[in-house]
Amino acid sequence: MATGKRFKTLSIALTAAMALSLTACGNSNNNEGNTSSSSASPSSGSTSGGDSGKKVTITFQNIYPDPTTPNYKMVRQLVSQYEKEHPNIHIELDTLNTDQQKVKLKTQAASKEIPDITMVNPAAQMKPFVDAGLLAPLNDVIDKGGLKDTYQAGLLDYYSFNGNVYALPDGNNIEVVFYNKDLFQQAGISAPPTTFDEFLQDVKTLKSKGITPLAIGEKDSWTGSFLFMNILLRTNGGPGFLKDVVDGKKTFNDPAFVEAVDRFQDLVQAGAFPDGATSIDANAGGNIFKSGKAAMWIIGTWETGAIDASSVAGKVGAFQFPTVDGKGDPNEFMLAPGSAFAISANSEHLQETKDFLNYFTLNLPKTQFDLKNAVGIGQKVDGDLKAAGYSDLAITVAGLFNQVKGGDLSFDNTMNPATSQVHLSSIQNLFVQKVDSAQVAKEHQSAYESNK
């Protein structure tokens, strides 16, 4: 869980007059052999201490598959620039959606053949990779060129074990409800909901007008879990439910958890989600909203730039997840320290890969800022959003960061992988059939007790 102190720092970094640390200078399913060119020219940031001049290919597994998004463009822009400056280095992109990448990485890890650069999630999700000795410590990478100081205070702690940093995050986000103002107006909804009952009524109203209320792609099961955790954060009266379970103070049979399951099922039974949601992956689910076919999308603020780059740009607002049955504080959020870049400890080109990642991350903030995608990145950014032409949505989201009082990490970033898998499957199942909430709670508790 992030502390209020850290989010105070974060808010400073993301106000309309953002702090752009220019010491740092600056989300298809396809494998790609090379990268696109770019007209932008990020500063070099660092030189290649391990660049011996020999021909080297570095594999870079990433989770930015949508060509319409700033993140897709950011990766190709930086890779292209690096290859121009280092003609002996070829960066081979392996681009997958999030769940596909997780599955592939697990398979690769089992044979100890993970890519030179891959992506991991913080805390509990990345610990098994560290414990297995698969990831290289990156202390020397962050010490080079002032890179360490570009990260928001405390953020690297989520990616550190035994005094070593093992991954460099791409973001530090909160989860909000994005909504299409035109579709709200079309349905006769005058203002965003502040309570779950209002939220549920809006869902029913939108549904009655033939509008999909909530976009989601639940084939990638983390999406439903993320939404569910918002409800649990409220029914629990604040953050810390999972920690209380781990500390033995609560069990999954607690009324807060059972109530969260009930309220989540209220959404499903009201027809909140697209038909066949469990057959739609996360990217396709997001595109339902970004193409103007759904009224709301509950997702991390990392999508702000992608929304602004889509056909609904200018029509979208954002609000906090509402209170549930009078419980919870809207300024407590689901927190999402980002997926992060990690290097294989067994990389054949370890030094060259470290040099590239140092360059990539040093230049990432400015590149994201120029692509109008700096809201929610994990590094300090200095600049004036309004003067730089950022949207009203981006400025609104940046303002929400200023209100963060704390919150919870996602279920699978907190619990052990085996319990998390049972949770993800259980929540996914709620999309296709109504289940006794007490039974859902019992399944969770049983999984936890079997795997703690």
pLDDT, one tens digit per residue, over 215-227 is 999 998 999 999 9
Question: Does residue 441 lie in a domain region?
Answer: yes
Residue 91 domain boundaries? 56-171+338-382
| 423 sits in which H/E element | helix 417-430
Q: What is the pLDDT confidence band of residue 52, given thresholds at 50, 70 and 90?
A: low
Q: Which amino acid is at 446?
A: S
Residues 159, 130, single domain; the answer is yes
Residues 222, 241, single domain; the answer is yes
Query: CA–CA separation, 324 vs 227, rounded Å?
Result: 13
- pLDDT, tens digit, 9 for 90 and up, residues 112-148: 999 999 999 998 889 999 999 999 999 999 999 999 9
Question: Does residue 78 lie in a domain region?
Answer: yes
Query: CA–CA separation, 355 vs 240, rounded Å?
Result: 39
Residues 317, 350, single domain; the answer is no
Number of domains in the chain: 2
The three-state secondary structure class of 259 is helix
Contacts of the segment 345-350: beta carbons below 8 A, 24+ positions apart:
345/133, 345/134, 345/135, 345/136, 346/112, 346/113, 346/114, 346/134, 347/116, 347/136, 348/116, 349/56, 349/57, 349/58, 349/116, 350/50, 350/136
Whole-number pLDDT of residue 338:
84
More confident residue, 105 or 99: 105
Whole-number pLDDT of residue 291:
97
Does residue 434 surpass a pLDDT of 50?
Answer: yes
Residues 159, 228, single domain; the answer is no
Query: CA–CA separation, 289 vs 215, rounded Å?
Result: 6
The two structure tokens encoding residue 242: 């999972």
Residues 369, 414, single domain; the answer is no
Q: What is the mean pLDDT of the chain?
A: 89
Whole-number pLDDT of residue 382:
78
CATH code of the domain covering residue 359: 3.40.190.10
Residues 216, 308, single domain; the answer is yes
Question: Does residue 402 lie in a domain region?
Answer: no
Smallest Cα–Cα separation from 120: which of 341, 364, 343, 347?
Answer: 341
Question: Does residue 32 lie in a domain region?
Answer: no
Question: Does residue 256 lie in a domain region?
Answer: yes
Residues 186, 103, single domain; the answer is no
Query: CA–CA separation, 353 vs 319, rounded Å?
Result: 40
Residues 260-274, mean pLDDT to the nearest whole number: 98
Query: CA–CA separation, 123 vs 424, rounded Å?
Result: 17
Does residue 31 surpass a pLDDT of 80?
Answer: no
Residues 279-295, mean pLDDT to the nearest whole number: 96
- pLDDT, tens digit, 9 for 90 and up, residues 188-225: 999 999 999 999 999 999 999 999 999 999 998 999 99
Residues 306, 374, single domain; the answer is no
Residues 232, 99, single domain; the answer is no
The two structure tokens encoding residue 366: 């400015």
Does residue 385 surpass a pLDDT of 60?
Answer: yes
Does residue 25 surpass a pLDDT of 90?
Answer: no
Region label for 142, one of left (φ > 0), alpha (ψ between -120 and 50) or beta (otherwise): alpha
Residues 229, 162, single domain; the answer is no
Residues 321, 225, single domain; the answer is yes
- pLDDT, tens digit, 9 for 90 and up, residues 313-345: 999 999 999 999 999 999 999 999 989 999 999
Question: Does residue 108 lie in a domain region?
Answer: yes
Q: Do 394 and 305 contact (CB within 8 A), yes or no?
A: yes
Q: Do 103 and 97 contact (CB within 8 A), yes or no?
A: no
Residue spans of beta strands (DSSP E) within 26-116: 30-31, 56-62, 89-95
Residues 287, 326, single domain; the answer is yes
**pLDDT over 90, % of the chain:** 82
Question: Does residue 218 lie in a domain region?
Answer: yes
Question: Does residue 424 lie in a domain region?
Answer: yes
